Amino acid sequence: MNKYLYTFLFMLIIYLIIETLSSMTYSLISRPQCKEVKKYEYGGLHPGNTLLIIGSVHGNEPAGHYALKILKKKLDTKQIEVTNGKLILIPNPNFCGIKYNYRHAPGDKDINRGFPKSLTEESHTENNKKIVDYISKTNPDIILDFHEAWSYYKMKGGSYGSTIIIQKNQNQHIVSKCVKRLNKTISNNSKKWSIVTDFQNNPGSLRHYCNIIKKQYVLVETSGQLNVQKLDKRINQNMTIINTFLKMLHITN
């Protein structure tokens, strides 16, 4: 075995040790902020649709979180104004996941598998309880949920990156407009966006819970994990989708 192979194996072992210790340390974090889930409401002067937008329940999928931070700033400074209905933002449902770039909440808890799996079941984490409570109290017409995948759907490798996932016949006209606008800027056909209606309905996910409570749910999956695309590009893609929903639902002018 030559010295280069020894060096490689040594570095690999060190990397695995660091990753293991990092994961163990993260799982022991117990801060109040880790269970903090803040919502922000913006109401119009006229009745209309209520849209709830959730960013980054998985901490290693940050583009949704940053897009909602930008949107919140524009709303707070009156660059964008809600004229009809109501807009509700949950920019950071996984505070510590975003802070430490870790998918799960501390304790290796996957928030997107912690929602009630039936009408009689409880949420599995405090974060889930708060999101469920917000949904119950605000009664949104549509829930828009931002995630990130590791590749591109059209490359047929099993990833759902660059897709908008909906139930059949729900919000098809809005999503079609989103995809058209997104694909205008993409020349590589294998990286273009698609609409998906046959996505697996994983028990404990927000999509599954919304199906149980009969809420319209839209899942956005950018191609973003492992920085397969630059973060600013993914944020811009999310902003295109958000702005299209706001305009077509007549929440903003």
For domain 33-248, the CATH class is: alpha beta
**Residue 15 scores a pLDDT above 60:** no
Q: Is the pTM of this model over 0.85?
A: yes
CB atoms within 10 A of CB 15: 10
Please report, for the chain, the start and end positions of each structural domain, with discontinuous segments joined by +: 33-248
Please give the structure tokens belonging to residue 40: 């922000």
- Kindly indicate the confidence band of residue 17, based on its pLDDT and cuts at 50, 70 and 90: low
Please give the structure tokens belonging to residue 149: 């995948």
**Residue 21 scores a pLDDT above 80:** no
Interaxial angle between packed helices 172-183 and 231-248, expressed in degrees from 0 to 180 and rounded to the nearest 10: 140
- Kindly indicate the confidence band of residue 11, based on its pLDDT and cuts at 50, 70 and 90: low
pLDDT tens-place string over residues 76-135:
999 999 999 999 999 999 998 998 888 998 887 899 999 999 999 999 999 999 999 999
- Kindly indicate the confidence band of residue 48, based on its pLDDT and cuts at 50, 70 and 90: very high
pLDDT tens-place string over residues 149-182:
999 999 988 999 999 999 988 999 999 999 999 9
Q: Under a CB-based contact definition with an 8 Å cutoff, are residues 60 and 102 in contact?
A: yes
